A and B are shown apart, each in its own frame.
Chain A
Amino acid sequence: MKALDIIKEANQSLLRNKLRSFLTILAIFIGSFVIIISTAINAGVNDFIDKQMESAGGEDYLEIMSTATSDSINSLMNGEVIKEYDKKSTNQSDLQITDEQVEKARKIDGLQSIDLMTQFQVEYFKLEGFDKKYSSMGFNLMPRGTLRMDLTAGRMPNNDDETTYEILVGQDYVKYFGFEKDEDIVGKKITLYAPETLKCSMTGNADDCTKPVELTIVGVQAPGVMAMGGARINVAAMNRITDINYAGLPNEARVSVMATAQVDPDRIDEIKDKLAEIGLTAMSIEDEIGQIKTFFDAMLTVLKIFGGIALVAASIGIINTLLMSVQERTREIGLDKALGMSNGRVFATFAIEAISLGFWGSLFGIIVSFLIGQAVNFVTHETILSSLPTFQLIIFRAVDLISITLIIMLIALLAGVLPARKASKKDPIDSLRYE
C-alpha cells in the first residue's frame, strides 16, 4: 500500500465520523491557537524591542546606581515592602551615589566619563515665536556616548561642548505647536525656566525665583518607547539647570541616586565588576532590554503552558476518538489483514489518522490566529498603538508556525500509538468474527 493511499484513507475515515473528528480537532485547535497566538505576540514584542534598540546604539553606555538602591528596588519587586532593619540598605546616604564613589569610578580603566544625574526641576518653558508659558511632562537626560534615538529630523544633541545647551524633542512638540514638518521646529530656541529652590521656598512666587536656560532644538525624535517622556537635554544643559536648582545650598543637598557613564564597550563587563567593588551597580542597555524581554517572556510562557495543558487534554481526546474508531472498524481491520495488509500498515493507518487530527487542529489554529492577529494588529494601529507605526503587536513567523505544527503532529502521533498498536495486534479471524 502506498503512503499517499494511507494518508487519503486516514483522512477519509476521519470524514466518516465528521462530528467526532471535528470535536477532536476543535480540542487540538484550542491548544494550538493559544500557543500560536502567544508565540506570535512574543515575536511581535521582541521584534519591536529589537527594532527600537537596533538604532539606539549605546554599547558604551552604563546606567549606575548604588548597590543599596538596586537591592531595595529588587526587594520591592519581590514584594518585600517591610523587612528587618539593615543599616546598609536603609540608610539614605547609602542610597545615594557619593562623591567618593564617583572619584573611585573615574579611576577605573576604560571608564571614559561619569555624570551624576541629579534630580533637576524646570518650572515652565517658552518656545521661540510663542508668547505663552508651557509646562511639560519633564525632561530627560541625553547621556554621553553612542546612544542614539530614532530621529525624524535634525541630529542628536552634542555632548562634547560643556557650554552648548541642546535639546531633542518628541513629535508631540511639533504637533502641539502646529508645525507642518518635523524639520520646521529644528533650530528653534526653547527656554527652560529653572527654579532656585532655596529662593523659591522663601518667596513662594515662581516668577521671581526662576532663571532661564536657552537651548537649541537640534532634532526631533521618532515615536517609540525611547521617546516617552518628551524631550532629552544634553549633559551641559542638565548641569546648568541643576546649578540653578541648588544655588545657595550646600553640596550635600544634591541628591544623586543615578549616574550615567561612558565606557569602553569591549571592557563593559570588567568595568561593571569594578563598579560593584565600590558599591555601585551598573546596567548596560543589553541588561535593560534583557529585563524587559524576560518580563514579556515570562508572561507569554504562562500562556503557552495553558496551551500545552489544552493540548494534553486534546491528546486524550485523540486517544479516545481513535480507540472508538478501532473498535468500530474491527471487521474492516480483519478484512484488510485477511487481504494481506501487514501489521505495520494497519499501525500506520491509525497513526496517520492521529497525525492528521493534529495537523488539521494546528492548521485551523494557524488560520484563526492569523485572522485574529491581523484584526488585532489593525485595531491596535488605529487606536492605542497609533503613535508607533512600526510596531506590529502580533508577528507570525513561518519557522514558529511550522515548528508548532510539527510538535503538535508529534504529540498527536504519540497519542495515536496506543490505539494504532491495538489495531495492528488484532487477529484477522477474530476481527472478522467480531459482531
Chain B
Amino acid sequence: MPENLLTVRGLHKVYGKRDSKFEALRGINLKINRGESVAIVGKSGSGKSTLMHLLALLDRPTKGEIILDGTNTSKLKQRDLNKLRNKEFGFVFQQFFMNANDTVLNNVILPLKIAGVGAKERRRRAMHALTIVGLESKAKNKASDLSGGQKQRVCIARAIVNNPAVIFADEPTGNLDSNTGAKVEETLFSLNRDKDITLIIVTHDEELAEKCNRQIRISDGRIESDEDLATEREIEAEIAAENEELRKNHKTGDMDADGLRDDATVSHVKVKEVK
C-alpha cells in the first residue's frame, strides 16, 4: 500500500479583487503518494504554476486545504510553514537562482544555514549532496564559473541537502539544451528512484512529463486529466457529503451561524471533530 504524502481538497486560488478578479484555480482535488514522480502539465496561464506554489506552501489558497503528511497546513502559522518548507521541500527553478559571486559549496549550504545547522555539519552535508550530483570537485569554484547544466545540478544538490520529502522542480530543463537537460533529468529521477524522494515537476515539456510515472494536466484552473482521477472523484464526494452534513447541522443550530459552507471551513470543522 503506497503511503499518502499530500492530499489536496477543494483548492481555489483567486487573485485580485472585484473587477480584476482572476480565478487561477477552481477546485483542485488530488492525492500524491510518497515516492511518486508527478508531472504537472498545462499551457501557460492554466494555473499549473499557481498549483505548484500552493503545493510548495509558498502561497496560501483562497479556499481549500493541503494536508502534508497528515498535517493540515492551512492551520499552520507562517513560521511553521517556513520551517516545514525548509525541512521537507527542495526547490529547483528554471532560472537556477544561485548567488553567482559565492562558491558552489556556499550555494548548496544555504538551506542548512537558514535552518541554523552548525558550520561543520552543514559543510559535511553539502559535500555529500554535491557528491550525489557528481560535482564535489567544483565545491570551491565560484558559481558563475559553471556551465548551465552544472548550475542546475548544483541547484539539485541544494534541493536535497536537507534530505527533503519532496522536490519541486519548476521547468528544471527549460534553460538547458537537450544533452545537459537529459543529465539533469537523470539526476532528478535517480533521486526519485534511489532515495524515494517524491518529485513534483511543473513543465510544458511533454517528453519530460512522459518520464514521470503520473501526469496531471491542468486547464483553466481545473484538472483536465490524471491517472488517478478516481481518487479525485472520491475526495469530491467526500466534500459534498461533509457539506450536506454541515447544512443539516446548521439548520439544527449546532454550528456557528456564519454559514460554514465553503471548502476551507469544512476542514475547520473536520479538524475539530478529529480532536
Residues on A facing B (Cβ under 8 Å): 1-2, 5, 16, 331-332, 334-343, 345, 428-429, 432
Out of A16, A340, A342, name the residue touching B111 (CB < 8 Å). Answer: A340
Q: Which residues of B contact A432 (CB under 8 A)?
A: 93, 97
Given contact pairs A342-B78, A343-B78, A429-B58, A1 touches B113 in the complex (Cβ within 8 A): yes
In the bound complex, residues from chain A placing their C-beta under 8 Å from that of B113 are: 1, 5
Contact B101 A16 (CB under 8 A): yes
Tell me the smallest distance from the CB of B36 to a CB of chain A, in Å.
22
A-B contact pairs, 7 of them (CB 8 A): A1-B114, A331-B97, A334-B97, A339-B91, A340-B111, A342-B78, A429-B53
Which of B27-35, B82-90, B259-267 lies at the interface with chain A? B82-90
Kindly list chain A residues whose C-beta atoms are within 8 Å of the C-beta of B99: 332
B182 at interface, CB cutoff 8 A: no
Min CB–CB distance A9 → chain B (angstroms) = 8
Is B68 close to A, CB under 8 A? no
State the CA gap A5–B114 with chains docked (Å). 9
B 107-123 to A, binary, CB cutoff 8 A, 1 in contact else 0: 00011011110000000
Q: CA–CA, A16 to B84, complex, Å?
A: 31
How many Å from the CB of B66 to the closest CB on chain A? 16
When distances are taken between beta carbons in the complex, the residues of chain B under 8 Å from A336 are 110, 114
| In the complex with contacts A429-B53, A429-B58, A1-B116 CB distance below 8 A | yes
Note all chain A residues with C-beta closer than 8 A to B85.
Answer: 338-340
- Least CB distance from B154 to A in Å reads 13
User: A332-B99, A429-B53 known; A340 and B58 CB under 8 Å?
Assistant: no
* In the complex, per-residue mask of B40-60: 1 if CB is within 8 Å of any chain A CB, else 0: 000000000000010010110
> Could you say which interface size class chain B belongs to?
20 to 34
A335 to B97, CA, bound (A): 7
Q: How many A-B residue pairs have CB under 8 A?
A: 49
B18 interfacial contact with A, CB 8 Å: no
B93-A342 in contact (CB<8A): no
Inter-chain contact B82/A340, CB cutoff 8 Å: yes
A332 to chain B minimum Cβ distance, whole angstroms, is 6
Which chain A residues border B87 with CB–CB below 8 Å? 340
Which B residues lie within 8 Å of A1 (CB)?
Answer: 113-116
Majority secondary structure of chain A interface residues (helix, strand, loop or mixed): helix
**Which residue of the partner chain, among A2, A335, A339, A429, contacts B86 with CB atoms under 8 Å?**
A339
Q: Which residue of B lies closest to A428 (CB)?
A: B58
Tell me the smallest distance from the CB of B143 to a CB of chain A, in Å: 12
Contacts of A338 in B (CB 8 A): 56, 58, 85, 91
5 closest residue pairs by CB, A with B? A340-B86, A340-B82, A340-B85, A335-B97, A339-B111
Residue of B with least CB distance to A435: B95
Distance, CA A331 to CA B96, complexed state (A):
11
Q: Which residue in chain A gives the minimum CB-CB distance to B109?
A: A5
User: Is B272 part of the contact surface with A, judged by Cβ < 8 Å?
Assistant: no
Q: Do the beta carbons of A341 and B82 come within 8 Å of each other?
A: yes
A340: chain B residues at CB < 8 Å are 82-87, 111, 114-115
Q: How far is the CA of A1 from the CA of B58 in the complex (A)?
A: 19
Measured CB to CB, the closest approach of chain A to B170, in angstroms, equals: 9
- Name the residue of chain B whose CB is nearest to the CB of A345: B114
State A1–B112 Cα separation when bound (angstroms).
8
Chain A residue nearest in CB terms to B81:
A340
Which B residues lie within 8 Å of A345 (CB)?
Answer: 114
Closest residue of A by beta carbon distance from B93 = A432
Q: Closest approach, in angstroms, between the C-beta of A353 and any C-beta of chain B?
A: 15
Can you add 12 more A-B contacts, CB < 8 Å, to A335-B97, A342-B78? A5-B113, A332-B97, A334-B97, A336-B110, A336-B114, A338-B56, A339-B91, A340-B83, A340-B85, A340-B115, A429-B53, A429-B59
CB distance from B101 to the nearest CB of A (A): 6
